[in-house]
Structure 1
Amino acid sequence: MKILEKEQVYAAVKTNPVYVRPTDLPIRFTAGDRVQAKNIHPRGHTRLPRYVRGKTGTVVRRHGSFVFPDTFAHGKGEKPQHVYSVRFEARELWGEQAEDNSAVYLDLWDDYIVPAT
């Protein structure tokens, strides 16, 4: 097993051929777009944390397109789609008691987010 230096991790994740997949889906969001995480409660596997559902954040970047783990884990196909890094302010997630100038960054698939209203 090869141990990666921290500078190598991003490149390894971005180019890992195991889950990188092309998609014909349009790119829906760009850096700076406001998005809302869907308030969904699927049965079984999901990578959408409960604490972010229904919350609003800002797209920071698009990582490319990857296998959608929710369908893949249940044997329903790869359903490749774009993955976006989204910044959620701590106060948006946890209210006024959250620390100032704190945020959480989550990598979210297209199926998890919609344009913020």
Structure 2
Amino acid sequence: MAPPGTTGLRGFEVPLSKGGILRSNASALNVGVLHLVPNLEVFPLLADLKMYEPNTIDLSDHNELEYWFTVLSEHLLDLVDKAVASEGGTDDAKRRGDAFARAFFVHLAR
């Protein structure tokens, strides 16, 4: 069984909860945390927050949902390979990449 506050996949914590809604802490997003419930907070590492224009996709449209899930699923392992390589391809980087891939595939399936 996973420790409380985690997804059970090492390195991906469940964001803190306030009022029954999962979210990051009050001061900023937890960069690197896979949020179980999406939020509309601006990503804190954007170079220019004033130029940011959020683009939303209506995932209630079945065609859009299927398209984006397919894109994300088909390219996830390429992304993980690049991330592992950027971390030097170490055993630890591979472990973290595998953990992320499993967590993200579970997130997509849900």
TM-score normalised according to structure 2 size: 0.24
* Structure with higher helix content: 2
Higher relative contact order (CA 8 A, sep 6+): 1
TM-score normalised according to structure 1 size: 0.23
